[in-house]
């Protein structure tokens, strides 16, 4: 019996030792993986990792970019700026232009329906909620709410097909030769434009006083019969030292992170556009680097 007990004790000690060794190895592997992750930026929308450090040749991570002086039309920097690519929610600048062309009564209320909500992504709106058109316009431009944008399209006094046709005709009128729109929000990757087109689109949209006012507002609050809605602008440059005259963010997987901004800096107007940046933060850092190119004293 004593021999059997000793054998049993030996087996238990062996398993305990193996368990300690396995735990130690697992911890070491986890530490190694964690240490490796600390050396790279998180994976971007296009599956590539980049290490921290200096930006790539050309100065920006985004696949497409441009910097222009809108007062002269001078192109100060360009990277694949003529290529047509998905522009995600930057589409909403064109939607807003066409919507406001119809001279809508912005204090008129529209009801949210289930069709508006289908596949629209995150929204504060709920089915059956009634919202003023002017408040919906703020939601569309400040925080890229797709439900709000869909309602604007259907409340503009024309069919959806006619609205999209007007968006494309407006693009032609503005000289946006690489642009094409198939719907209002930018959720569809077939909404495309070049970086040069986006710069022209932002320039035209921000000349509309209401669009400029909305896109340069940091915060906005309104009330419906159900609750209070508090909006915060997705444009990070508004929260710094920049004199922003207009801007719009955008993202879908196919487009990457997009951003267009118009700023007044050191006595000069500049429009910077980045399309296809790998991360949310990179799109803003890319835009700042572009602005610094035109301001020797630093942006």
Query: Does 18 fall in a domain?
Result: no
**Catalytic-residue membership of 144:** yes
pLDDT, position 57: 61
Q: Per-residue pLDDT tens, the chain, 299 aa: give them.
A: 333 443 443 433 333 333 333 333 333 333 333 333 333 333 333 334 344 456 676 689 999 999 999 999 999 999 999 999 999 999 999 999 999 999 999 999 999 999 999 999 999 999 999 999 999 999 999 999 999 999 999 999 999 999 999 999 999 999 999 999 999 999 999 999 999 999 999 999 999 999 999 999 999 999 999 899 999 999 999 999 899 999 999 999 999 999 999 999 999 999 999 999 999 999 999 999 999 888 766 55
Query: Does 88 fall in a domain?
Result: yes
CA distance linking residue 270 with residue 10, whole number of Å: 77
Query: Does 43 fall in a domain?
Result: no
**Catalytic-residue membership of 293:** no
Query: Does 34 fall in a domain?
Result: no
pLDDT, position 58: 64
Q: Which of 89, 140, 179, 194 is catalytic?
A: 89
Query: Does 21 fall in a domain?
Result: no
Query: Does 26 fall in a domain?
Result: no
Q: Which of 79, 92, 170, 248 is catalytic?
A: 92
Range of the domain at 84: 64-293
CATH code of residue 262: 3.40.710.10
Query: Does 93 fall in a domain?
Result: yes
CA distance linking residue 203 with residue 250, whole number of Å: 17
**Catalytic-residue membership of 169:** no
Number of domains in the chain: 1
Query: Does 152 fall in a domain?
Result: yes
Q: Which of 26, 34, 84, 144 is catalytic?
A: 144
């Amino acid at each position: 019996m004593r021999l059997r007990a000793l054998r049993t004790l030996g087996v238990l000690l062996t398993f305990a030792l193996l368990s300690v060794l396995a735990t130690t190895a697992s911890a070491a592997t986890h530490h190694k993986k964690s240490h490796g992750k600390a050396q790279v930026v998180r994976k971007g929308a296009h599956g590539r990792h980049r290490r921290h450090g200096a930006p790539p040749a050309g100065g920006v991570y985004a696949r497409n970019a441009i910097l222009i002086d809108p007062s002269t039309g001078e192109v100060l920097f360009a990277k694949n700026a003529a290529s047509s690519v998905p522009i995600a929610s930057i589409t909403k600048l064109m939607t807003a232009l066409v919507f406001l062309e119809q001279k809508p009564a912005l204090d008129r209320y529209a009801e949210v329906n289930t069709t508006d909500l289908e596949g629209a992504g995150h929204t504060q709106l709920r089915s059956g909620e009634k919202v003023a058109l002017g408040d919906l316009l703020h939601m569309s431009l400040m925080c890229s709410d797709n439900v709000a944008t869909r309602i604007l399209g259907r409340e503009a006094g024309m069919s959806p097909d006619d609205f999209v046709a007007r968006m494309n005709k407006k693009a032609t009128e503005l000289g946006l030769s690489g642009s094409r729109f198939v719907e209002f929000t930018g959720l569809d990757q077939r909404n495309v434009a070049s970086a040069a087109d986006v710069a022209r689109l932002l320039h035209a949209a921000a000349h509309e006083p209401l669009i400029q006012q909305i896109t340069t507002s940091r915060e906005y609050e309104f009330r419906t019969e159900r609750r209070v809605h508090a909006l915060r602008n997705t444009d990070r440059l508004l929260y710094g030292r920049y004199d922003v005259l207009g801007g719009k963010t955008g993202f879908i997987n196919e487009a990457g992170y997009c951003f267009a901004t118009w700023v007044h800096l050191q006595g000069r107007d500049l429009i910077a556009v980045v399309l296809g940046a790998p991360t949310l933060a990179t799109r803003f850092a890319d835009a700042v680097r572009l602005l610094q190119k035109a301001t020797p004293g630093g942006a």
